[in-house]
């Protein structure tokens, strides 16, 4: 008892009282006291073995908490559409990866309804998204990052590549490759066509897959539309040419969508800070 008191930096009577309180609470004798000293009973040994496991788990739990509070280590799960995944989000991931190699990213791609479900079910930490409608869900918080525009593009060798001051109506007889009207980019084009009294051009390949549209543009006489951020950040846009249009197609916001009642883990905050910095650089470049 006296040795235990020294280890715990207390006095012997405190140790004796604690043992007595344990024995009273458990209803069994924990220690056998004799001339040879104090030894645990069978009950005491069982308590000792169980306590060792409990404190091992507690120490591991503290290590896990320490790991989770480290802003340079951990998993970050990001939801975004394929365009943002291949452009702005990839750029933000590269920036974080260069500074913090201990952070692992999981990108979940999809479109508005699917991504919202992933966020609600906690399958992702946040969304980088273009809201198709005002954020009305009281559980969600939207942080604006930057304003994106849309550009009509062709392959660099396309016959229209060098023309200037083009009207959208001039392109209606050309071959197009466009996303479906249900897609956010497709909806922008549908609205632009409606303004000139038209629908989707008759010579249109409808496909949502980003890589397929890029491939058709680079290898055939097609016209398409992409957000400006895709052309800015994606290396796939290197062989494309933005057409000089008289009128802008429209603009949209891009931002971070999170759940208000969900704590943001430090590595997730590191990624959010990277997105903010990248968006600020884009804004400065635009001005």
Domains of the chain: 2-68 (1.10.10.10), 73-147+252-286 (3.40.190.10), 149-251 (3.40.190.290)
Q: Determine the average pLDDT of the residues in 122-131.
A: 90
Tell me: the pLDDT tens digits for 30-64?
888 877 778 889 998 998 888 888 888 888 777 77
Dihedral angle sign, alpha carbons of residues 240, 241, 247, 253:
positive
Residue 50, burial from CB neighbour count under 10 angstroms (0-12, 13-18, 19+)? exposed
Confidence of residue 287 (pLDDT cuts 50, 70, 90): low
According to DSSP, the β-strands at 126-129 and 73-80 are parallel
According to DSSP, the β-strands at 222-227 and 140-155 are antiparallel
Tell me: the pLDDT tens digits for 232-250?
886 666 788 999 998 888 8
> Do the Cβ atoms of 85 and 57 come closer than 8 Å?
no
In the chain, pLDDT over 70 holds for what percent of residues?
94
Tell me: the pLDDT tens digits for 197-206?
999 999 999 9
- Whether pTM > 0.85 for this model: the answer is no
| Strand runs labelled E in 112-250 | 126-129, 140-155, 175-178, 204-206, 222-227, 240-242
- pLDDT of 274 over the 90 cut: yes
Report how far residue 38's alpha carbon sits from residue 31's, in angstroms, rounded to the nearest whole number: 6
């Amino acid at each position: 008892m006296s040795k235990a008191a020294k280890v715990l930096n207390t006095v012997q009577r405190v140790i004796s009282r604690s043992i007595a309180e344990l024995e009273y609470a458990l209803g069994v004798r924990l220690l056998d006291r004799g001339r040879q000293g104090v030894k645990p009973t069978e009950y005491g040994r069982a308590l000792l073995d169980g306590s060792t496991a409990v404190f091992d788990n507690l120490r591991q739990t503290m290590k896990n908490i320490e790991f989770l509070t480290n802003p340079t280590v951990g998993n970050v799960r990001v939801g975004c559409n394929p365009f943002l995944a291949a452009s702005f989000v990839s750029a933000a991931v590269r920036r974080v990866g260069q500074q913090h190699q201990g952070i692992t990213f999981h990108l979940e791609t999809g479109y508005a309804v699917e991504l919202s479900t992933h966020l609600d079910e906690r399958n992702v930490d946040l969304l980088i998204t273009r809201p198709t409608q005002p954020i009305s869900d009281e559980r969600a918080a939207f942080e604006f990052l930057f304003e994106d525009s849309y550009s009509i593009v062709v392959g660099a060798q396309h016959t229209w590549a060098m023309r200037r001051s083009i009207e959208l109506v001039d392109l209606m007889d050309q071959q197009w490759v466009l996303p479906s009207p249900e897609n956010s980019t497709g909806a922008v084009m549908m609205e632009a066509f409606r303004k000139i009294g038209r629908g989707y051009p008759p010579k249109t390949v409808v496909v949502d897959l980003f890589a397929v549209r890029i491939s058709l543009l680079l290898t055939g006489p097609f016209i398409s539309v992409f957000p400006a951020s895709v052309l800015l950040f994606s290396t796939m846009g290197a062989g494309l040419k933005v057409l000089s249009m008289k009128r802008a197609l429209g603009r949209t916001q891009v931002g971070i969508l999170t759940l208000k009642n969900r704590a943001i883990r430090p590595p997730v905050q590191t990624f959010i800070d990277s997105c903010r910095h990248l968006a600020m650089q884009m804004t400065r470049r635009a001005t």
